[in-house]
């Protein structure tokens, strides 16, 4: 098959059609899993849609998951523009949460909005610091960030367990979690907002961190495409030799990109600590850091793509739990498998059908143009 001239492929083919085809295939394969497990795939789809959109609390859950995926997806994307595979979102988020908690609890004498801002800053600083060490090792020693960030996930997990058991545990109880933050510091939840308008709903974890996710998306877009720093990061990522020629330091940019990436991952801690748990509980990042990689790949490392990709994974998380509730043969792990299939098709097999699809459209458009 003749190679397709990339410049002739319309943007909507590579950025919309191809991901949609991959997603459809992933869903077909997932449907097959569900069928083999002895349930009706169409019924499962109905349940997913009902679970994630069908009632207001369900939809709020979807958006809550979306919030987390946006943070970790953006985190991966920023590092990726400098061609760094930051697999360490999980650990950076964990440590970011520590930052949120320590700031909130130690500055509780300040007015609440200031505590919030400081806590957000704490999340960013702690997350960035956790990314800094692998970044420094990559920049100076060439130790590959894929390896070091994975190791740092384990270190973060062990460190947090140590802290939660021996150092910052709420001594009034036995579980590995801290004391709760004072109630006035809790982020207003969706439920509170609904109550303002006289709508009574049951609990959902959605809170104003969702707005922070939107702000973070705008920030990333601005940073990567509109500022000198983003320009330099992309230059280092695409062609390090050329960057050196132009006086752009790869060393500096590797560190900056990783620290911004870690800071964004740290924001997950804001959602979880200020918005949901109001204390640190062991293992709160719960795999969002890893799923963020798939979100970023699927969203083609652009905030405009990451947001819908995060939303899709939100639907799967929320709708998936609805399915496991109603279908006895489908376990929670089945939906981990479904996620895996989506990651497989939108990540690893991303280019499986791309040439065919692109040349199909290019040929069609050529025929139209010459007709």
The length of the chain is 371
The span of 119-127, 209-217, 225-233, 319-327 binding another protein (CB under 8 A) equals: 225-233
Which range of residues in 205-213, 236-244, 320-328, 346-354 is near another protein by CB under 8 A? 236-244
Quick check: 370 binds another protein (CB under 8 A)?
yes
- Would you say 181 or 243 has its CB closer to another protein? 243
Phi (first) and psi of residue 249, to 5 degrees: -85, 115
| Closest approach of another protein to the CB of residue 370, in Å | 7
Between CA 5 and CA 265 the distance in angstroms is 37
Q: How far apart are CA 354 and CA 349, in angstroms?
A: 9
Q: Which of 7, 171, 173, 351 binds another protein (CB under 8 A)?
A: 7
Binding of another protein by 140 (CB under 8 A): no
Interaction of residue 147 with another protein, rule CB under 8 A = no
Candidates 191, 234, 277, 302; binder of another protein (CB under 8 A) is 234
Encoding tokens for residue 301? 């490392």
> Is 239 among the residues that bind another protein (CB under 8 A)?
yes
Residue (of 327, 359, 341) closest to 5 by Cα position? 359
Q: Return the half-sphere exposure (C-beta side, CA atoms, 13 A cut-off) of residue 125.
A: 11
Task: Tell me which of 154, 162, 203, 245 binds another protein, using CB under 8 A.
Answer: 245
Residue 228 CB, nearest distance to another protein (Å)? 5
What is the signed CA dihedral for 249, 222, 317, 34, rounded to 10 degrees? -80
Binding status of residue 277 toward another protein by CB under 8 A: no
- Taking the least distance from each CB to another protein, the nearer of 59 and 361 is 361
DSSP-derived 3-state class of residue 106: helix
Distance CA 259, CA 248 (A): 18
Q: What's the longest Cα–Cα distance across the chain?
A: 79
Based on the shown chain and the rule CB under 8 A, indicate whether residue 369 belongs to the binding site for another protein: yes
Other CB atoms within a 10 A radius of the CB of residue 44 amount to 26
273 or 297, CB closer to another protein? 297
CB of 247 to another protein, least distance (A): 3
228 is a contact residue toward another protein (CB under 8 A): yes
Sign of CA dihedral 136, 88, 239, 299: negative
Interacting residue ranges for another protein, rule: CB under 8 A: 2-3, 5-8, 226-229, 231-232, 234-235, 238-239, 241-249, 362, 365-366, 369-370
């Amino acid at each position: 098959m003749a190679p397709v001239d990339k410049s002739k492929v319309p943007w909507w083919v590579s950025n919309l059609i191809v991901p949609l085809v991959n997603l459809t295939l992933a869903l077909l394969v997932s449907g097959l899993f569900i069928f083999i497990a002895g349930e009706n795939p169409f019924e499962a789809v109905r349940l997913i849609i009902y679970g994630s959109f069908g009632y207001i609390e369900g939809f709020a859950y979807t958006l809550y998951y979306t919030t987390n995926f946006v943070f970790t997806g953006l985190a991966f994307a920023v590092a990726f523009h400098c061609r760094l595979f930051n697999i360490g979102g999980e650990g950076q988020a964990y440590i970011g949460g520590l930052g949120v908690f320590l700031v909130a609890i130690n500055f509780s004498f300040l007015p609440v909005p200031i505590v919030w801002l400081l806590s957000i800053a704490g999340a960013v600083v702690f997350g960035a610091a956790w990314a800094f060490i692998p970044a420094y090792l990559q920049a100076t020693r060439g130790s590959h960030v894929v390896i070091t960030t994975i190791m740092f996930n384990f270190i973060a997990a062990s460190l947090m367990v140590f802290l939660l058991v021996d150092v910052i545990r709420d001594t009034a109880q036995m579980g590995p979690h801290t004391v709760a933050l004072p109630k006035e510091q809790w982020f207003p939840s969706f439920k509170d907002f609904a109550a303002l308008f006289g709508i009574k709903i049951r609990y959902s974890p959605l809170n104003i961190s969702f707005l922070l996710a939107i702000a973070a998306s705008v920030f990333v877009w601005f940073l990567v495409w509109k500022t000198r720093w983003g320009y330099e990061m992309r230059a280092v990522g695409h062609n390090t030799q050329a960057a050196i020629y132009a006086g752009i330091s790869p060393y500096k940019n590797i560190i900056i990109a990783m620290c911004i990436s870690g800071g964004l991952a740290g924001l997950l801690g804001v959602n979880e600590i200020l918005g949901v748990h109001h204390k640190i509980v062991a293992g709160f990042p719960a795999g969002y850091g890893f799923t963020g990689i798939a979100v970023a790949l699927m969203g083609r490392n652009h905030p405009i793509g990451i947001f819908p990709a995060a939303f899709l994974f939100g639907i799967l998380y929320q709708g998936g739990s609805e399915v496991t509730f109603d279908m006895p043969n489908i376990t929670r792990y089945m939906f981990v498998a479904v996620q895996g299939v989506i990651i497989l098709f939108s990540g690893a097999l991303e280019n499986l059908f791309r040439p065919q699809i692109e040349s199909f459209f290019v040929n069609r458009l050529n025929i139209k143009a010459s007709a």
